[in-house]
Amino acid sequence: MTTAGDVALSALIGESVVMREMRDLIQAVARTPLPVLVLGPTGSGKELVARAIHAASASQGSLVCFNAAALTDSMFEDTLFGHVRGAFTGAVSDHTGLLAEADGGTLFADEVASMSIVAQAKMLRAIETGEYRAVGAQRDKRSRFRLVSAANDDMRLLVTEKRFRSDLLHRLAGVVIEVPSLAERRGDIPALARHYLTLESGRDLTLDDDAAALLAQRHWPGNVRELRHLMALVAALSDTRVTMVALRRALSLRLESEIVLAIEMPERRELSDALERHGWDTESAADELGIHRTTLYRRMKRYRLTPPALASHMYDAATQ
């Protein structure tokens, strides 16, 4: 019998040794209650891994996802713990938080490295005891959920820099699953390319061997996501066969991949808009975004957002 877990695991394409081992590990840990920390570069498949863990856990509950980078401290509490009617102006009815929704299921906390110290303290208590208090409530509530979190930063470095609590990191990382970059599993590239050619075009397209070989040699900073996007483009330019000529043309129609990667990120757009609005005054831009200034610096660095008059070494220093 094919289970939902098998289906979710087979969505993780790749027959390389690292991918096989990763699927085995997911299967082995899925049925335990251990919290899982999924680490890996952007576009490598961390969210797919989280979904596979939930599906293979055979849990009857739901998979509830939230992105920690998108929540300010006050939103964090409200979103996760909920509120009771009258807790604040505008709280016209009770609001169930994500922790309650995840009861009996899985809570997927994405981009945990971006959590502020305040949010980290709140999260620690909730996962340590399973107890939390809705905003404005008189009593604690309890939720039993399986926690899966994901990050692409080096969490150990954040701990040494005192930006992430080590006690929280230990709680999150009952098991660590490291998702390899595409460059670490080049052998999987032709199969992934063929899969996404069909999926993106809805047609049966063949990929010439020399074109597949070229794909396998490339550098993929955006990992599987970048390969998928390229396949959508080359499919649109091809009839029944993807030739080397069509592939080169598709590649020439894209900006240098790292730039594309940056442009595609909605978060980058949000940051650059806020910075523009505030004349690159990072303090007021960070205020508007509801994030700490150091977080803003770190993201500016990640997305290569360079203030017109500020040399990059200055914000390198500021993020130390």
Ligand X SMILES: Nc1ncnc2c1ncn2[C@@H]1O[C@H](COP(=O)(O)OP(=O)(O)OP(=O)(O)O)[C@@H](O)[C@H]1O
Which residue lies nearer to ligand X by CB, 100 or 192? 192
Residues 27-46 that bind ligand X (CB under 6 A): 40, 42-46
Region binding Mg ion by CB under 5 A among candidate stretches 10-18, 41-49, 268-276, 307-315 = 41-49
SS3 86: coil
In the complex, the smallest distance separating the C-beta of residue 45 from Mg ion, rounded to whole angstroms, is 9
In the bound state with ligand X, the residue whose beta carbon lies nearer, of 14 and 61, is 14
Q: Whose Cβ is closer to Mg ion: residue 251's or residue 265's?
A: 265
- As a whole number of angstroms, the distance between CA 211 and CA 127 comes to 48
CB of 310 to ligand X, least distance (A): 26
* Closest approach of ligand X to the CB of residue 278, in Å: 26
> What span, in angstroms and rounded, lies between the C-alpha atoms of 174 and 229?
34
Tell me whether residue 40 or residue 82 sits nearer to ligand X (CB atom): 40
16 versus 243: smaller Cβ distance to ligand X: 16
Binding-site partner at residue 225 among ligand X, Mg ion, none, CB < 5 to 8 Å by type: ligand X
Partners of 135 in beta bridges: 83
Binding status of residue 102 toward ligand X by CB under 6 A? no
Residue 218's closest CA among 241, 195, 192, 197?
192
Using an 8 Å Cβ cutoff, are 266 and 111 in contact?
no
- The reply to whether 47 sits near Mg ion by the rule CB under 5 A is yes
Q: Binding string to ligand X for residues 201 to 230, with x set by CB under 6 A, is what?
A: -----------------------xx--x--
Contact predicate 72/78, CB 8 Å = no
Q: For residue 48, state whether it binds ligand X (rule: CB under 6 A).
A: yes
Q: With respect to ligand X, which residue has the nearer C-beta, 5 or 43?
A: 43
Which one, 125 or 218, has the nearer CB to ligand X?
218
Dist CA 19 CA 255 (whole Å): 30
Which of 8, 12, 189, 285 touches ligand X by CB under 6 A? 12
Rounded to a whole number of angstroms, the minimum distance from the CB of residue 59 to Mg ion is: 21
Q: Which string of x and - marks every residue 126-165 that binds ligand X (by CB under 6 A)?
A: --------------------------x-------------
Residue 284 and residue 275 in contact, taking contact as beta carbons nearer than 8 Å: no
**Binding of ligand X at residue 87 (CB under 6 A)?**
no
Q: How far is the CB of 48 from Mg ion (least distance, A)?
A: 9
Question: Among the residues of 166-243, which ranges form H helices?
Answer: 166-172, 189-201, 209-217, 223-236
Query: Binds 5, which of Mg ion, ligand X, none (CB < 5 to 8 A, cut-off by type)?
Result: none
| CA–CA gap between residue 211 and residue 189 (Å, rounded) | 11
- Contact assessment for residue 227 and residue 193, using Cβ atoms and an 8 Å cutoff: yes
- How many H-runs (helices) and E-runs (strands) does the chain carry? 17, 11
Q: Where are the beta strands (DSSP E) in 13-164?
A: 36-39, 63-67, 82-83, 95-96, 106-110, 131-132, 141-142, 146-151
Beta carbons of 215 and 190 less than 8 angstroms apart = yes
Residue 13 contact, options ligand X, Mg ion, none, Cβ 5-8 Å cut-off depending on partner type: ligand X
Closest C-alpha to 231, from 190, 185, 182: 190
Residue 69 sits at φ, ψ, to 5 deg, of -70, -20
Residues in touch with ligand X (CB under 6 A): 12-14, 40, 42-48, 152, 192, 224-225, 228
**Footprint on this chain of Mg ion (rule: CB under 5 A):** 47
